[in-house]
Amino acid sequence: MLQAASDIKTSLLRTDPGGLRLMRGVHLMLTVLGAVFLANAVASFVPGQSAFKLAVLAAAAGGHCLLFTPVSTRRAEVLGIAKLGGLLTLLFTLGAVAAEISGKSGSTVLQVLWIAVIMLGFALQGLSPFWQRVGRSMAISWLFVVLGNLGGSPGLWLPAMAVLGTVTALVIRTGPWRPSTYRTYLRVEAANRQAMATYLRQLSGRSAGPAGGTAIRIRDLAKLRVELQACADLLTPEGEMPGMSPEAAIMVELALEVVADARAQLSKDARNQLAQDAGFRRTVDRLVHRLETGEAGVGEEDNGEGIPAENWLQAASGAATQDRFQELRIAQAFKRLWLLAARDKPVRLSPGGDKKGHTDGWWQKLSWRLSLQAGAAAGIGFSLGLAFNLNHAYWVTLTIIIVLSNSLGATLLRTAQRIGGTAGGVVLAMLVDPALSEFPSVRLALVVLAIPVVIVFLDRNYAIASGIISFLVVMGLQTLEHLPIVELWSRLYDTMIGAGVGLAAAWLLFPNRTGASFAGLASDYLNACRSCLRAEGGRAETDLQDLARLRTAASTLIATAKSYRIEQAPWSSFTRSASDLNVLVIVLAQYVVLYREARSDVMREKGESPGQSGIDALVARMDKRLEDEFSAVLDGRPRQSVPGLEDDWMAAIPEGATGNLALETGWVAMLYHARKVVRCLDGLRKETFFSGPA
């Protein structure tokens, strides 16, 4: 039981490192409660105004400000909430004016205007990430303008409640205690460092770490790295931030895998000799300290050139060729570990931001296609609600707003998640209702406590979030408006109608299929890897920056590939949780940078090894080998081969350059990483969803 609870906690932390999203959910819950309390207090001084209506408007405004403002630094969140609150206040003001002008037909006019607001909101999504959030928020929040004018217009109290909700969100989000994104990042980084150091001890045959400590596996490192990446994604750096970047953590993990693989391939005698060598043990201890602290040992000076190959490698110079090859791989991995484990500021690209393009005007960036789809779908949904006299027709339109996405594949996925999650949430509410029918306060408490959980899963697993939302909506409506539970089945079929209408609009009206964009992204990514391969490397900061750029391009490609797979084979894409393509694309970027780094080491050291005039020619042959393989994948040709290249490569260094350990280790690393690049490209060639478009 305790182990299961620990596993659940660990899984949640990887979804929400440091509780950053959970705390935002708690703040959302407190904002809703605070806005409801303040609105009720205001209503007590305003005769004729419904306290319930004002409470809903204030809670909706404050909730939207927090819901559509991503976790970031305090300053960035204050600006985001203030800007979004100002836009919501303007929107509520326009709604109040429209209701006053239209008089008795205000409800119908506002519902028709909702279609126009939806179209405008979806058109704005093409401008920037900020307007993508604002556009969807506008489309949803107009629903509260419509509901707020049912049974009489609140007049100027409509924008006043928007201001009240915004101020409440600002005070609660920025006032009370909140976890620091930076300190959370450092805590997660420290856990990564400790696990890496423990794993290195295990590989060297030393103790696994502190007494009672559990063994570390490579997949444990990968899980911790995912948590580090998730934490970094929530972070907007301001100034210098010392620590280990996610890119450096990836490289450390790969270096440790090389050590594990090379040690396993050593002969038994060579492995035993290595374990007993005092120089090897001393080197491991220095690396363990470096991984744990990011600093050189006491009395040692870090000259930035990496840990030197000590006498353990020099003493083994007479070993068999295969053992020597594996020992050189270990030495090269040790060098990279020393450089990557340094405590330096993380090398990261700007994390999205609201960038403005420099070539196209803003009118050219508007998502006209998505706007037309949303307008047509919302119009059909509104008509169906009138034709069938649906009790909660706005649920149809709301579902359309939620499922419509930038591509057909993403809309398909969101449709399946919305329907499945809603069905699960409604059924759960039906099952819980008999047990809580006599305890309305307990039902209301469940609704309130479910809010933070929604925020944790909203970005990570929308199906779960959708189920929780449906549960709290059904329970909330039943408790607050005393609706019979049977009537709330309508939420399920209203959701299905809205999802069907939204999906039909995305499929039939100017469908945005991702085949062409995926083909372009696949080709661009391979060409970016090839360009990175041609460039000079060898500087740690430059290499990590290039890796960050390639990983950003790879992430975009993977996201588009997901939509592409769904469009091509919807059912198989849902039943297949992962694809080798995702792994191959990410790993390719890493090995391209590592190959380039090793090549720089070789070219730098060859000048100190007279008599090795053939190195330039062999390096040129290896570069051409990889160039040809990239071209073959792009052109759809089978795997290329260069007869004798590997034998020539293996024979070149041992003949006369054993005195230059840096040259030898770089030489071995070049061959190893070239093999990995070729294998990745060969794997991509076999991926049917990649080879065709590429």
**Rounded CA gap, 494 and 127, in Å?**
31
| Per-residue pLDDT, 349 | 41
Residue 508 CB neighbours (<10 A)? 10
657 lies in some domain: yes
351 lies in some domain: no
pLDDT: which is higher, 590 or 661: 590
Q: How far apart are the first and last CA of the chain?
A: 49
1 lies in some domain: no
Q: Is 10 helix (H, G, I), strand (E, B) or coil?
A: helix
**Rounded CA gap, 174 and 69, in Å?**
13
Round the average pLDDT of the chain to a whole number and report it.
81
In tens, the pLDDT along 234-291 reads 765 544 567 787 878 888 888 898 889 888 888 888 888 888 888 888 888 889 999 9
- Is the same domain home to 121 and 186? no
- Is the same domain home to 84 and 224? no
CB 453 within 8 Å of CB 468: yes
% of the chain with per-residue pLDDT over 70: 82
| Per-residue pLDDT, 355 | 42
Q: How long is the chain?
A: 694
Q: Is 660 helix (H, G, I), strand (E, B) or coil?
A: coil
Q: Is 630 helix (H, G, I), strand (E, B) or coil?
A: helix
- Is the same domain home to 523 and 662? yes
Strands (E), 557-688: none
- Is the same domain home to 522 and 390? no
Across the strands, what pairs with 344?
243
CB 409 within 8 Å of CB 566: yes
| Per-residue pLDDT, 415 | 92
Give the domain-ending residue among 136, 164, 179: 179
363 — pLDDT class (breaks 50, 70, 90): confident
- Is the same domain home to 586 and 523? yes
Count of structural domains within the chain: 4
Q: Tell the residue number behind the tokens 């809205």, with chain if given.
A: 498
354 lies in some domain: no
- Is the same domain home to 216 and 300? yes
The predicted model scores a pTM of 0.78
Residue 71 CB neighbours (<10 A)? 21
In tens, the pLDDT along 80-105 reads 999 999 999 999 999 999 998 988 88
Residue 480 is given by DSSP the state: H
176 — pLDDT class (breaks 50, 70, 90): low
- Inform me whether the pLDDT recorded for 656 exceeds 60: no
- Is the same domain home to 266 and 329? yes
Would you call 377 exposed, middle or buried from its count of C-beta atoms within 10 A (0-12, 13-18, 19+)?
buried
405 lies in some domain: yes
**Rounded CA gap, 540 and 217, in Å?**
27
Give the domain-ending residue among 464, 483, 510: 510
CB 411 within 8 Å of CB 403: yes
In tens, the pLDDT along 618-653 reads 888 899 999 989 988 888 888 877 777 877 887 776
In tens, the pLDDT along 489-498 reads 777 888 899 9
162 lies in some domain: yes
Give the domain-ending residue among 122, 154, 179: 179
pLDDT: which is higher, 207 or 79: 79
Q: Tell the residue number behind the tokens 């009720």, with chain if given.
A: 40
Report for 348-352, 573-577, 688-692: range of highest mean pLDDT: 688-692
User: What's the 3-state SS for 49-89?
Assistant: CCHHHHHHHHHHHHHHHHHCCCCCCHHHHHHHHHHHHHHHH
Would you call 427 exposed, middle or buried from its count of C-beta atoms within 10 A (0-12, 13-18, 19+)?
middle
- Is the same domain home to 282 and 400? no
Angle at 205 between CA 200 and CA 211, to 5 degrees: 80
- Is the same domain home to 658 and 558? yes
- Is the same domain home to 409 and 439? yes
Report for 187-191, 537-541, 656-660: range of highest mean pLDDT: 187-191
In tens, the pLDDT along 510-524 reads 888 887 788 888 888
318 — pLDDT class (breaks 50, 70, 90): low
Q: Is 302 helix (H, G, I), strand (E, B) or coil?
A: coil
45 lies in some domain: yes
How far, CA to CA in Å, does 468 sit from each of 33, 317, 376, 448, 451? Answer: 18, 64, 29, 11, 8
Concatenating the DSSP letter of every residue in 325-367 gives HHHHHHHHHHHHHHHHTS-B-------S-----SSS-HHHHS-
**Which contiguous run of DSSP H or E holds residue 214?**
none
CB 95 within 8 Å of CB 156: no
| Per-residue pLDDT, 311 | 62
- Residues contacting residue 498 through CB under 8 Å, at least 6 positions apart: 381, 395, 396, 397, 398, 399, 400, 403
**Rounded CA gap, 361 and 359, in Å?**
7
| Per-residue pLDDT, 457 | 86
- Is the same domain home to 290 and 272? yes
Q: Which domain holds residue 239?
A: 182-340
562 lies in some domain: yes
**Rounded CA gap, 342 and 291, in Å?**
8
- Is the same domain home to 30 and 165? yes
Q: Is 243 helix (H, G, I), strand (E, B) or coil?
A: strand
